[in-house]
Amino acid sequence: MDDFWANALFSLAPTVLVGVIFWIIMRAIIRADRTERNAYARIEAEERAKLGLDKPAG
């Protein structure tokens, strides 16, 4: 019975490891995208403020 649990653990370990690595990579990509979008929105808002495009027409 000891061999069964050891084999089960060793057979699941690579799958779990690859899953964790995939999750870490995807999390980093999503966070980088979110940060980039926030930075782009901030820069765009600054440029609109410089040009006076945020003022209401009328």
pLDDT tens, 4-49?
A: 988 999 999 999 999 999 999 999 999 999 999 999 999 999 999 9
Sign of CA dihedral 24, 28, 29, 30: positive
- pLDDT higher than threshold 80 for residue 58: no
The confidence score (pLDDT) of residue 29 equals 98
Domain boundaries, given as residue ranges, for the chain: 1-49
C-alpha distances in angstroms, 14 versus 10, 19, 21, 31?
Answer: 7, 8, 10, 26
Q: What is the pLDDT of residue 45?
A: 92
Looking at per-residue pLDDT, the higher value among 2 and 17 belongs to 17
pTM for the complete prediction? Answer: 0.66
Give the other-Cβ count within 10 Å of 15's Cβ.
9
